[in-house]
Structure 1
Amino acid sequence: MAAAPPTKEALLHLYSSTLRASRTFSSYNFRNYFVRRTKSQWREIQDEKDPAKLSSFYNERVKELPVIKRSAIVNSLYGGWKLVIEEPRKPETTLERSDS
């Protein structure tokens, strides 16, 4: 007998947990990669109705979540400098022309 497909609540909880774990990477590139990857994987399965595919997808993502969490911890231990793109923008100062 096949296992019951995961509920919508279980899928949403796993999705939010995976996104949360993806956002904990200290490296800008890793963080953005895992957020994009998570969103694209879940977008592909969004309209799926086949219980077997949903169960398979859910089980794969449950196994992947601890790997992402461990990777984020290791990344935070060896995190480097912040990139320029991560720095907060400073308010622009208005310059006045000297000839006016």
Structure 2
Amino acid sequence: MSTAPTRRAILDLYHATLRTSNSFGSYNFREYFVRRTKDTFREIQTAESDPTKVKNLYAAAANELAVLRRSAIVNQLYGGRKLAIESLERRPEDSKTRGDN
């Protein structure tokens, strides 16, 4: 019987999933998958005492990452126009040019 994944493996999977979630071109998909990723890994964190449950949750998250990567590629290929909320997001260099420090 294999053991539960290490803390490092879980963190690596978490960071890979967050990177993939942030690679979506569509704002709504991006925000949804970032939120879902955080919720999934909070669940893994709360199940930390049961190695079998952690192993099952880790395997499910790894499978979701594979699907998420394929979905992100398709979303980037067929992404639509930017939403109004995306143009309202402030970047650090914006405050310098507008003079509203």
Q: Given residue 59 of structure 2, which amino acid in structure 1 is its aligned partner?
A: N
What is the identity percentage for the equivalent residue pairs of Structure 1 and Structure 2? 53
Alpha-carbon distance in 2 for matches of 1:40, 1:61:
11
Q: Kindly provide the amino acid, as one letter, of the partner of residue 23 in structure 1.
A: N
By how many angstroms is 1:47 displaced? 2.8
Which is richer in helix?
Answer: 2
Residues of 1 paired with 2:16 and 2:53: CA distance?
20
CA distance in 1, matches of 2:44, 2:64: 16
Write the distance in 2 (CA, Å) between the matches of 1:32 and 1:92.
30
> Unmatched 5+ residue regions in structure 2?
none
Aligned to 2:33: 34
Instruction: Tell me the amino acid that sits aligned with residue 55 of structure 1.
Output: K
Q: State how many pairs are aligned.
A: 92
1:66, distance to aligned residue in structure 2 (A): 1.2
The corresponding residue for 2:82 is 82
Superposition TM-score, scaled by structure 1 size: 0.85
CA radius of gyration, larger in: 1
